[in-house]
Chain A
Amino acid sequence: MILFILAAILIAVSLISLCVGAAGISLRRIPHIIWEGKGSGEYSILFDIRLPRIILGFAIGGALSLAGTILQGIFRNPLVEPYTLGISGGASLGVCLNIAFKWYDAVGIIAYPISGFLGAALVIVFVYSLSMKTGTLKTQGILLTGVMISFISSSLVMLIMALSRSEDLHGIVFWIMGSLDEPNMLLIRVAVIGALAGLILSYFFCLDLNALALGEEEAIHLGINVEKTKRMLFIIASFLTGLSVSVAGIIGFVGLIIPHLMRMFTGTDHRILFISAFLAGSSFLILCDTLARTVIEPFELPVGVITGIIGGAVFVYALSKKQVTL
């Protein structure tokens, strides 16, 4: 039931986003435009400019939200997500290195997501082994580590920027701003396929995550291969984050707010939560992107600014509440 509502919201938001913009197009004109076919200016605005952004928003929003849900499940902590754990930072460092060393020349455009994935995976392994070393998964400790890793990686990104030649610099700056404006259709396709693959793969572990909510020992008692589950989910979460960051830059907090809201609406069962978080994340990012390109028309804000403002506020609110259960 709730999934149908979320799907309906997603479609509605997509339609709104399709219509709103510098050139307003009313809903009723859309069939006309399709009927008239290629060639008109409006057709090109709809299908060459706005639709790819919406599709990318669907993939990235869903991927980030899903990555957040997975990480929160493993860490049993409702405040972790790719951004707060520093995983996005690691991914961005990976992508920057890729631009600076021109790996994409050797491997092709696919070098972006791969370098993002490697950066993300490295940070996840580091944060997790650090938090296991101290024995318990304390909220503050993990968050502080995440903040520090973000800080270190953004410093290293700046170092790379300072050392790189001007044409690389342009590439990095352009990409770091973070937006859904991606001209490369291949990357958009990779993002959509990757995000959906991530959803399907992670779904095989949804019951394991339900059991993990009780604690790792309890999950072992229930016959879950905890080590294997964690390993697979970490890989999937790094993959989703690396993919998002490499295509759309750093977009923070989507993975925090959306799973949080969805737990309130759909409960803690990951069998529903995974899908609902994905759909809601998609809608949320498409909406934020629509806002980003319309609030100060004809200029455009980076979409990360919008999610940052909304997400930051929700984050502070969640921290100030006494206890949030998974």
Chain B
Amino acid sequence: MKKALLSVEDLSCGYGKELILHDMDFKVYRGELMCIIGPNGSGKSTLLRTISRILKPRRGKILLDGKNIDRMRHKEFAQKIAVVSQTLESTGMTVQEYILLGRLPYFRKYQFFETDNDENIVQKYMELTDALKLKTTMMSEISGGERQLASIARALTQEPALLLLDEPTSHLDITHQVQILELIKRLNRELGLTVLMVLHDLNLASEYSSRLLLLNNGSIHKIGRPEEVITYRIIEEVYETVVLVEKNPLSGKPCVFLATEEEMREGKTV
């Protein structure tokens, strides 16, 4: 029996009067890499923001290791869940100074300066994420891909049980997309880090995750292994687009191709 790290129970939430997520129930198991997919406006980011405590649940609860995250103190929460978001603002600090901020949750009250242990941990994760070469570069001067690396390194120095990522590959070219996702996969395999991330690219999601959570209109449409979720029937239903789903010959994971109806008719007759 696999052990659940995160359980979302009967969760509803939203902004203002409007409810965006309704009655969500799912679990993320320890050591798995789960991707949240779904059309624009389906509530992917809202779900992630609720789990990262930016939004308060309207109903239901979120448990981490059996403990309600709403009851945790700020620092305790940040020691368990680290977030790589898209909202990072450009600042005048160096990459190393930025990554060191990941140790803040471990600072005692009235502690103002980092210890040698903090420095070592930062060094370790900068090496692991290949961000070491950026050490003294200004955060305002690095590229989008480097920024994601720095962000992930910062999240790792929090030494969390669960890593949340909000579209870590958006605005990146394919080289950097693969670089970031390979890194995440390595962290998941080698460190046993549990990962939950939002990806809008179905093929990348299918390729890299052990399970997929497909959202539609604020509720769970389907949850399961990629081959259970990415079928032409489900994708057409949710995305209202005609697609062709084939197995990737190298990985065996399902792969989505776009198709017009005309092409489909012609394809079938050939």
Contact = CB atoms under 8 A, between A and B. Distances in A.
B196 to A, nearest CB: 14
B88 interface: yes
Interface in A206-236: 206-207, 210-211, 213-215, 217-218, 220-225
Contact of A223 (B54, B78, B113): B78
Contact of A268 (B83, B91, B102, B105): B91
Contact of A269 (B83, B85, B97): B97
B93 A221 contact: no
Contact of B112 (A215, A220, A225, A271): A271
Given A210-B101, A211-B101, A222-B78, A204 B54 contact: no
A221 B85 contact: yes
Interface residues of A, number: 25
Contacts of A218: 85, 87-89
B75 interface: yes
Contact of A213 (B93, B110, B158): B93
A215 B86 CA distance: 11
Max chain B Cβ within 10 angstroms of own Cβ: one of A76, A222, A224, A269:
A222
Interface string A181-203: 00000000000000000000001
Interface of A is mostly: loop
B89 A215 contact: yes
Interface of B: 52-54, 74-79, 82-83, 85, 87-93, 97-98, 101-102, 104-105, 107, 110, 112-113, 140, 158
20 contacts: A76-B89, A203-B112, A204-B110, A206-B112, A210-B97, A211-B104, A214-B89, A214-B91, A218-B87, A220-B53, A221-B78, A222-B78, A222-B101, A222-B102, A223-B74, A223-B75, A267-B93, A268-B93, A271-B112, A325-B90
Interface of A: 76, 203-204, 206-207, 210-211, 213-215, 217-218, 220-225, 263, 267-269, 271, 325-326
